[in-house]
């Protein structure tokens, strides 16, 4: 089914944008993932060898964050609430978890936490009521502050990305901006950015159309902007439609509006000449047209 396959490709594309992981169509490789709609949303932890199944059932698993959760298991990641240090961050309410579901809340005493902090906003964290056997009773309670939000499935968090990049030895510089509005700048701005950088910012709002406004812009000028450039995409990957092609020099670009709630900004610099870089703010509004004063 086309839309399901597109959903899986979109979830993969975000990994490819933010990390060094690439999902390549299998040819004759011995070890590979078989992604299919089986019974529920599940995956093995890490590489099993041979063809291994990642199940993303058409009914119930077709959210980007759920697909990414299962793919992240295949990449080697446990549930966040299974980390060795989880008891400092959450309380597991065993009495509301049926015995059959308890293995999913198991703590791994010697998990490799990659020297990175516990992440309540990880796509690998369960929500408060996951597998509860009693309506309204939480199975996982954040401590000391029980109101902390857990279990988001919008997509990978900044720490999810940092962990993948650390495990896979990737120096990609990626930032996810999960807010209705905010700002971004090149490194060191207004001092000069460095040579040979490859950075992306993914703006991800809840359901609103994103606008990007550059306040400062000063990049090395080259013919066709082949050296240093900023490029903006209408979506979360470099295969998304281009909103602003390679741009350099010192003219402030026009405002850019995405068609939806995802926008990707790419900043590439070569080995010669730097400048002060850029500063931009983004906002997001209603996605309806406000023509003729009507919403």
Q: Which residues are annotated as a binding site for Zn(2+)?
A: 69, 73, 79
CA angle, 165 as apex, 27 and 5 as ends, to 5°? 40
Mode of pairing for the β-strands spanning 90-92 and 140-142: antiparallel
- Torsions phi, psi of 129, nearest 5? -110, 10
Residue burial 137-147, b: 16+ Cβ < 10 Å; e: rest:
ebbbebeeeee
Cα–Cα distance for residue pair 56/207, rounded to 1 Å: 23
Identify which of 166, 163, 96 has the alpha carbon closest to the alpha carbon of residue 131: 96
CB 233 within 8 A of CB 226: no
12-38 burial by CB neighbour count: b if 16+ within 10 A, else e?
bbbbbbbbebeeeeeeeeeeebebebe
Alpha-carbon span 16 to 22, nearest angstrom: 5
Catalytic residue check, 14? no
Catalytic residue among 70, 80, 288, 295: 70
CA angle 99–101–104, rounded 5-degree value: 125
**Rounded to an integer, what distance in angstroms lies between the CA atom of residue 94 and that of residue 103?**
11
Distance between CA atoms of residues 145 and 58, nearest Å: 35
Say if CB 174 and CB 199 are below 8 A apart: yes
Catalytic site positions: 70
């Amino acid at each position: 089914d086309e839309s399901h396959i597109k959903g899986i490709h979109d979830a993969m594309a975000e990994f490819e944008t933010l990390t060094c992981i690439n999902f390549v169509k299998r040819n004759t490789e011995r070890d590979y993932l078989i992604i299919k709609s089986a019974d529920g949303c599940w995956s093995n932890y890490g590489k099993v060898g041979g063809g291994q199944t990642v199940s993303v059932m058409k009914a119930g698993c077709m959210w980007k964050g759920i697909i990414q959760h299962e793919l992240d298991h295949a990449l080697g990641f446990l549930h966040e609430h299974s980390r060795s240090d989880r008891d400092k961050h959450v309380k597991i309410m065993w009495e509301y978890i049926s015995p059959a579901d308890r293995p999913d809340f198991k703590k791994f005493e010697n998990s490799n936490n990659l020297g990175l902090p516990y992440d309540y906003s990880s796509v690998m964290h369960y929500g408060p009521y996951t597998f509860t056997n009693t309506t309204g009773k939480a199975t996982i309670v954040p401590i000391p502050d029980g109101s902390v939000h857990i279990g988001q499935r919008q997509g990978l968090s900044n720490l999810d990305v940092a962990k993948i990049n650390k495990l896979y030895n990737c120096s990609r510089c990626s930032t996810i901006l999960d807010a209705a509005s905010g700002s971004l700048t090149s490194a060191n701005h207004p001092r000069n950015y460095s040579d040979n950088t490859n950075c992306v910012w993914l703006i991800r709002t809840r359901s609103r159309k994103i606008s990007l406004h550059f306040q400062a812009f000063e990049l090395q000028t080259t013919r066709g902007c082949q050296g240093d450039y900023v490029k903006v995409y209408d979506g979360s990957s470099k295969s998304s439609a281009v909103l602003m092609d390679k741009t350099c020099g010192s003219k402030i670009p026009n405002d850019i509006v995405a068609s939806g709630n995802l926008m990707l900004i790419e900043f590439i610099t070569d080995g010669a000449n730097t400048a002060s870089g850029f500063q931009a703010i983004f906002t997001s509004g209603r996605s309806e047209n406000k023509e003729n004063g009507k919403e």
